[in-house]
Structure 1
Amino acid sequence: MANWLITCNYQTFNLEKAYDELSEIYWKNDVTNTDKGFQVGDIVYVYITAPISKIVYQFKVIEHTQNNRYPNAQLLFWNNLTELKKYGGNFSVFKKLKKVDNKTLTRQSLIEQNYIKNSDTLQGLRTDRGKSQDHEISVLLNYITSQFNDEMIDFDYPDEANLNDKKFPEGAKQIVQVNRYERNPEARSKCIQHYGLSCQICEMEFAKTYGAFAQGFIHVHHITPLHKISDEYEVDPIHDLIPVCPNCHAMLHKTINGTQMTIEKLKMLYQSSNNK
């Protein structure tokens, strides 16, 4: 399974209306080498060009079809069929997964967080297939995946790390049901880049358990409880943060005889329990 980032211009194809009205979306898969194009099971993210300038859609490739099977219903959403009629290749069928409106997925936000260069207009196709985890495209797609997955759950943990400043300052409290802290997704991303997406206590990895649907999902725990920190400080994504599954994350917020649970203690309890 691979992740993709592709581009759509609403002035050419009205994906917004097509997404709302169609059960599936057909997309050109014109790579001559079939091993290099969209593969069944791949996850595809769609960037909408200016004036939207934002990554909005998430799809899953479910099958491929021939040129003559392009659905008539989808033709209605093309503003000009000239480009489509010139195309002689095959199509991939996309299953709709999610549509989001997230400020962290704007082109400007990606530039500010150093995921892309200022000159990058996000045109064309890019994929993490065959690329190392630390390749710039893999890092970008991993971040995009995390932003879509973060939309799935409203985290209630006060120290679920998701920090806004590139120096990762923490400590400024906001009162939203519980005390929360200003967060920056770059700190979370750097933590995940270092440790990976498996829980550092029980070793669970969501994508291996639930498939591509859960790719990129993990909680990031702040090792020192933020309520114990009075002044702003710079978070170290490697030493202050650690990826954990929601179950282990909840256990880390429990105490034993009034003593805060630690990563080492919880890992020992988990291993001891599973060795019985």
Structure 2
Amino acid sequence: MTLTDTDRQVASIIMAAGRGSRMKGYEGNKTLLPLQPGSSIFKGRHPIIRHLMENLPAGATSLIVNHCKDEVMAATRDSGAVYCDQPVLNGTGGAILAAGDFVASQPARHVIITMGDVPFVKKKTYEKLVDGLDAHHLMILGFSPRDKKQYGVLEIEQGRVRKITEWKFWKDYPPHIQDRLTVCNSGIYAARQSALVDYLPVLASRPQVVQKEIDGKITDIEEFFFTDLIEYMVRDGKRVGFHVVEDASETMGVDDVAALEKAQALFAGPAATG
């Protein structure tokens, strides 16, 4: 059975709403940054978002938009994507909640969730994630970097993910526990459409209150995190699996100037094909 069979339809959600404050010197939406630089590293051809979309499984696609949304929509208008506005930048969970109607209306049984600044995930990698949904309600794309500091890690028991733990928490684990945590979270997922329909309302009912500096003042705001949804699923006995990429560059996010330069070099060479 292949991904083209009727019962293997795949919808995709791309999170492309954020500004990307770490991309110094650039005010636009970083998903529009070029993989082929021209007059500067910020101006050129082949936007990140277009390369990403080329590798997604065939099927309906939703783009979550906010920052510079008109430019994002103009760059992708001919793709047939559905645009879902995330009115407040309230976390990865908030982005998926913005696509709630899109998810609910899908005939596709499976949904890919990916970030708009991760251009090099291969078609076969997405397919392996979706294949994992035969036995799991949700799949996480993992990677194993040389240095896992700063990343969230998958806590795995008997081949299944029990939870995702962020760096600020696992850095205080005893060294022998840290050594066991070898798989990091890429922020890319595949889920059964029915599981998302069931658990998005649960996520929406449980915001996290976080403190952020806004206009020079520390303010309490509500945010939603997709990793919380995974925790709720595990608690209810749902099966969460994972697939680890062989080459960690597949999951590289383009979030600052150094990463952009690396991505442009990868795109220019044979490692970017596949």
- TM-score tier, shorter chain, comes to under 0.3
Higher helix share: 2
Higher strand fraction (1 or 2): 2
TM-score by length of 1: 0.26
Structure with larger RCO (C-alpha < 8 A, sep 6+):
2
